[in-house]
C-alpha cells in the first residue's frame, strides 16, 4: 500500500508513502505459477497434490493406472531417496505405456503437469515427451518436456474442452526404444470464475499498488469530502501496436495511433529484405522517416529484425551465397543496421524465428545465432537482444517451438558462448485461445528469468475475434513474467496482416473498441474520488506516473512538486559527489558514520564490487546509522539516497534490513522545509516512511523513503529523494510514480 498525506496551511508540506501488502480474499485454490526448468535428481511432489489424478506419485503401486497398448509396466524406487515411480518398457507405439481415465467437463480449465525421465541401454539420450488426452475429439497434447536420462524433467500444460467427454491420459514419446519413466502427475480443474479470479489476483499483485491519500487541515485534523482527481501521465506497462509505412502520409492514421500508443514496431521496414533488396545497395529511407515520426511523439520502438532464419524471408540473393560470402554479407548487415539506429531502439529481434528455422546455422555452423547475439549486444548494449518465434503459446500441436523447445534454444545460445542479456519474444498469432495452455506455457518460459514480451499479438478474423482478443490480452497482462505486449495490427489500404483495429476511415472496429477499453481501464481515465470522514481516499492504481489534484470547497491547498521513484540494479554515483556528506559511497568503510539508537550496522560489498552500508536488528524507526552536520539558516538543502529494504514490512515492524548507498545532495523536487536559525542536523535513514520532525531545534529524520517496493526480486534497489528548503505555495497538484 502507498500512502500520501497532504497537510494544508502549514509552513511545510508533509507527504509520505507507505508500501505494504494487503490481503486479498482468495476465491478457490490459488493458481501455482511455478515451473522448474532444471533437471533434478528426484522429481518434486505433484502440483495440487495431483488434482483429479488417482495415485499421482505411485506410492500405491499401479492403483488407479492401467497399461495402454503394448508395453511392460513396473514400479521402481530410487536408490537414495526411496522415491517410487513408474516405468514403461518395450513400448510398441508413441502412446503405449500408462493411462488413466477421467471425465472432463466442458468450459473448465485444466492445468496438467508431470515429471519424466528416459533411459536407454546405449547411453545418454534426450526424448521429446508430451502429456496427451485422447477422447471423441481425437488426441490433444497439453504440454511438453525434453526428457533426459539420469535426471527428472518437469512437464506443464493445459487444456479446455468445448464439450464434456470421457478421456484417457497418456504420456507420448515417439522413440519407442527408450524406457519412459514418470512420476508426480497432476490434472487440476479450475472453473471459469476461479480462472478469472486468478487473473485479478495476479493483476492486483504485479501490476497495481494500493494508494492511500490523506488530507489534514492546519491543525492536523482529517479533511473529509475533499475531491481527489487522478490523471495518469504514463503507464509503466508497455502496450503498443505495430505500424506500417502508410502512417507517414496519412494524418488520420497518425492521429489515431499517437493518441493511443507509446510503443511500436515497424511491420517490414527494418527487415533485411526491405533494406537491401539488391546486394550492396542499402536503403534505410523509409525506416528513417518512420523512426523520425515516432520519436517526435515520444514513442519507443522495437527493432524487427536483423536476420530472419526462415530462408524464404531472407533477401533472395542470400540463398545462393557460399558460406564465406554469407558470413561476409551477414557481418555487413548487422553492423550496418545496428549502427544506423544505435541507441534509438529498446530491443532487437536478432535472429527471428530461430527456434523454428536454422538457415544461418545450416550454412555457417551451429553457433551462428550465438555469434550474432553477441555481436548485437557489443554494438548496442542498450537494445536488449530478443528471440522471437511463433506457436509457443498459441496452441499445443506445434512440437517445433513449444515452450520446452524454446527453453532448449536459450540453453543452446548459452552453450555456444552468448551469456549476455536476452529477451523472450512470443509472437502470439492466435485463432482460438487455449487459456490454460497460454498460462502454463508462460510459466515455463518465465523459469528462464528473462523478460517476456508478446511481440505480434493478433487474432484470426473469425467469429468472436474481439472476444478472444480481450481474453488473451487480460491473460498475458496478468502473468508475472510478461513485461510488455505489442499488438500486430499495422494498417494498410488493402487491409491488415490478420487483424485490423480500424476501418479505412480510422473508425474503430470491434477489435479497436477492445483495445480502447483496455487502455481506458489501465489508465484510469476520468478517475476521481472523495476523502472519507478520516480525510482518506484509498484506491488501487496501475503502476505508472500520475498527477494527483486535491480540491476542497472551503480550503486552499499547498502541494509539493514532482516526486519519482526508479528501481535500479545498483546505485548511481552520488549527486554533487555527496555534497557535505563524508564518505557518501561507503568506500572508506564506516568512516564519518556512527551508530544511532539500537541497531546493528555493517559494511558490505556486493558481487559487482559496490560498497554499501546495512542496518539490521533495528529497534526503532530512526535506529541505524547517522552523520551530523552544521546547517546554516536560510540555506536550501536537498538530499538524495539509494536504498533497498529486505524482509517483510508492516508499519509497526522495525526488524527489516535497510541497505543504503550513494547519499548526497540532490536536485530532485522535494517537500519544503526551512530552519529558523543555524542548528545542527543529523542525517538519519527513516524507514518508517515519515518525512521528518522538529525537535529541540534539530531537524530529525530528513531522509524518508518514498514509494519503496519491498520485494527484492521485483525491485532490488530503489532510488528516492527529498529535501528541505523555504516553503513555496503552489497549485494543489502532486505527482506520483508507482512501480
Judge contact between 73 and 88, C-beta under 8 A. yes
| Distance separating alpha carbons of residues 420 and 426, to the nearest angstrom | 19
CB atoms within 10 A of CB 716: 16
Maximum Cα–Cα distance across the chain: 93
Q: What residues does 720 pair with on adjacent strands?
A: 641
- DSSP of 649-662: --TT---SEEEEEE
Residue 132: which H helix or E strand, with range? Answer: strand 126-135
d(CA 667, CA 578): 12
What 3-state DSSP class applies to 234? strand
Q: Measure Cα distances from 330 to 215, 356, 368 in Å.
A: 62, 20, 10
Closest CA to 511 of 540, 535, 534, 491: 491
Residue 62 to residue 338: CA distance in whole angstroms: 59
**Which of the 8 DSSP states describes residue 31?**
P
**Helices 323-340 and 368-379: crossing angle, nearest 10°?**
30
Q: Which regions of 250-299 does DSSP assign to beta strands (E)? A: 263-266
In angstroms and rounded to an integer, the radius of gyration of the C-alpha atoms of the chain is 29
Angle 591-596-601 (CA atoms, 0-180°, nearest 5)? Answer: 60
Tell me how far apart the terminal alpha carbons of the chain are, to the nearest angstrom: 12
Residue 557 contacts residue 706 (beta carbons within 8 Å)? no
How far is residue 381's CA from residue 359's CA, in Å, rounded to a whole number?
26
Residue 441 phi, psi (nearest 5): -65, -40
Strands of 657-665's sheet in order across: 566-567, 718-724, 637-646, 657-665, 611-616, 600-605
DSSP code, position 51: B
Residue 589, classed as helix, strand or coil, is coil
Three cell numbers, residue 309: 532464419
Q: Which residues are catalytic?
A: 456
Q: How wide is the angle at C-alpha 519 spanned by C-alphas 517 and 521, nearest 5°? A: 70
**How many CA atoms are closer than 13 Å to the CA of 196, on its beta-carbon side?**
6
DSSP annotation of 678 reads: -
**Are the C-beta atoms of residues 724 and 699 closer than 8 Å to each other?**
yes
How far is residue 239's CA from residue 491's CA, in Å, rounded to a whole number?
17
Alpha carbon separation from 529 to 2, 222, 466 (Å, rounded): 16, 16, 32
CA dist 615 and 622 (Å) reads 11
Look-up of cell digits 494544508: 8
Amino acid at each position: 500500500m502507498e500512502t500520501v498525506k497532504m497537510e494544508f496551511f502549514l509552513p511545510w508540506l508533509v507527504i509520505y508513502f507507505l508500501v505494504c501488502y494487503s490481503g486479498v480474499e482468495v476465491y478457490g485454490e490459488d493458481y501455482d505459477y511455478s515451473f522448474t526448468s532444471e533437471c533434478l535428481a528426484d522429481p518434486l511432489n505433484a502440483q495440487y497434490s495431483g488434482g483429479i489424478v488417482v495415485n499421482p506419485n505411485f506410492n500405491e503401486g499401479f492403483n488407479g493406472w492401467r497399461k495402454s497398448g503394448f508395453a511392460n509396466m513396473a514400479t521402481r524406487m530410487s536408490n537414495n531417496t526411496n522415491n517410487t515411480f513408474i516405468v514403461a518398457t518395450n513400448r510398441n507405439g508413441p502412446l503405449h505405456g500408462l493411462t488413466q481415465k477421467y471425465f472432463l467437463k466442458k468450459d473448465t480449465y485444466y492445468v496438467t503437469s508431470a515429471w519424466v525421465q528416459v533411459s536407454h541401454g546405449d547411453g545418454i539420450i534426450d526424448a521429446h515427451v508430451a502429456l496427451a488426452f485422447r477422447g471423441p475429439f481425437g488426441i490433444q497434447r497439453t504440454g511438453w518436456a525434453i526428457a533426459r536420462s539420469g535426471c527428472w524433467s518437469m512437464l506443464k500444460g493445459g487444456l479446455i474442452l468445448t464439450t464434456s467427454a470421457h478421456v484417457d491420459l497418456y504420456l507420448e514419446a515417439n522413440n519407442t526404444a527408450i524406457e519412459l519413466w514418470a512420476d508426480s502427475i497432476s490434472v487440476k480443474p479450475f472453473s471459469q470464475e476461479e480462472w478469472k479470479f486468478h487473473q485479478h489476483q495476479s493483476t492486483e499483485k504485479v501490476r497495481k499498488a494500493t494508494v492511500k491519500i490523506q488530507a489534514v487541515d492546519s491543525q492536523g485534523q482529517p479533511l473529509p469530502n475533499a475531491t481527489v482527481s487522478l490523471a495518469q501521465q504514463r503507464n509503466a506497462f508497455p502496450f503498443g501496436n505495430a505500424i506500417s509505412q502508410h502512417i507517414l502520409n496519412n494524418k488520420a492514421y497518425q492521429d489515431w495511433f499517437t493518441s493511443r500508443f507509446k510503443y511500436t514496431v515497424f511491420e517490414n521496414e527494418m527487415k533485411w529484405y526491405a533494406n537491401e533488396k539488391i546486394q550492396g545497395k542499402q536503403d534505410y529511407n523509409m525506416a528513417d522517416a518512420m523512426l523520425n515520426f515516432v520519436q517526435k511523439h515520444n514513442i519507443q520502438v522495437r527493432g524487427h529484425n536483423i536476420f530472419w532464419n526462415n530462408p524464404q524471408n531472407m533477401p533472395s540473393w542470400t540463398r545462393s551465397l557460399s558460406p564465406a560470402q554469407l558470413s561476409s554479407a551477414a557481418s555487413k548487415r548487422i553492423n550496418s543496421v545496428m549502427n544506423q539506429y544505435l541507441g534509438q531502439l529498446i530491443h532487437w529481434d536478432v535472429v527471428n524465428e530461430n527456434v523454428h528455422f536454422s538457415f544461418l546455422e545450416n550454412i555457417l555452423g551451429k553457433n551462428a545465432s550465438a555469434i550474432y547475439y553477441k555481436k548485437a549486444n557489443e554494438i548496442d548494449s542498450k537494445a536488449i537482444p530478443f528471440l522471437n518465434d511463433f506457436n509457443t503459446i498459441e496452441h499445443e500441436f506445434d512440437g517445433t517451438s513449444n515452450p520446452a523447445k524454446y527453453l532448449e534454444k536459450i540453453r543452446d545460445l548459452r552453450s555456444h558462448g552468448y551469456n549476455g542479456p536476452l529477451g523472450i519474444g512470443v509472437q502470439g498469432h492466435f485463432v482460438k485461445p487455449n487459456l490454460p495452455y497460454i498460462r502454463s506455457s508462460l510459466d515455463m518460459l518465465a523459469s528462464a528469468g528473462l523478460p517476456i514480451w508478446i511481440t505480434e499479438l493478433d487474432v484470426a478474423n473469425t467469429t468472436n475475434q474481439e472476444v478472444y482478443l480481450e481474453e488473451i490480452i487480460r491473460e498475458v497482462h496478468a502473468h508475472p513474467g510478461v513485461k510488455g505486449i505489442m499488438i500486430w495490427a499495422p494498417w494498410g489500404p488493402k487491409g491488415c496482416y490478420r487483424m485490423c483495429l480500424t476501418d479505412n476511415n480510422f473508425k474503430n472496429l470491434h477489435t479497436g473498441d477492445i483495445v480502447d477499453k483496455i487502455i481506458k481501464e489501465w489508465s484510469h481515465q476520468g478517475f476521481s474520488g472523495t476523502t472519507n470522514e478520516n480525510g482518506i481516499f484509498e484506491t488501487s492504481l496501475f503502476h505508472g506516473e500520475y498527477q494527483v489534484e486535491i480540491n476542497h470547497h472551503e480550503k486552499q491547498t499547498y502541494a509539493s512538486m514532482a516526486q519519482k521513484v526508479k528501481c535500479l540494479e545498483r546505485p548511481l554515483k552520488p549527486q554533487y559527489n555527496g555534497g557535505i556528506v563524508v564518505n557518501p559511497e561507503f568506500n572508506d568503510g564506516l568512516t564519518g558514520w556512527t551508530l544511532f539508537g539500537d541497531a546493528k550496522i555493517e559494511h558490505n560489498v556486493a558481487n559487482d564490487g559496490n560498497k554499501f552500508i546495512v542496518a539490521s536488528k533495528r529497534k526503532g524507526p530512526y535506529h541505524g546509522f547517522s552523520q551530523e552536520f552544521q546547517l546554516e539558516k536560510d540555506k536550501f538543502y536537498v538530499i538524495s539516497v539509494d536504498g533497498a529494504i529486505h524482509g517483510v514490512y508492516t508499519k509497526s515492524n522495525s526488524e527489516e534490513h535497510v541497505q543504503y548507498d550513494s547519499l548526497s545532495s540532490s536536485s530532485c523536487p522535494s517537500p519544503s522545509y526551512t530552519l529558523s536559525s543555524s542548528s545542527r542536523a543529523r542525517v538519519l535513514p527513516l524507514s518508517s516512511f515519515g518525512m521528518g520532525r522538529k525537535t529541540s531545534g534539530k531537524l530529525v529524520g530528513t531522509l524518508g523513503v518514498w514509494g519503496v517496493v519491498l520485494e527484492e526480486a521485483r525491485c532490488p534497489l530503489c532510488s528516492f529523494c527529498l529535501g528541505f528548503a523555504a516553503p513555496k505555495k503552489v497549485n494543489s497538484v502532486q505527482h506520483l510514480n508507482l512501480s
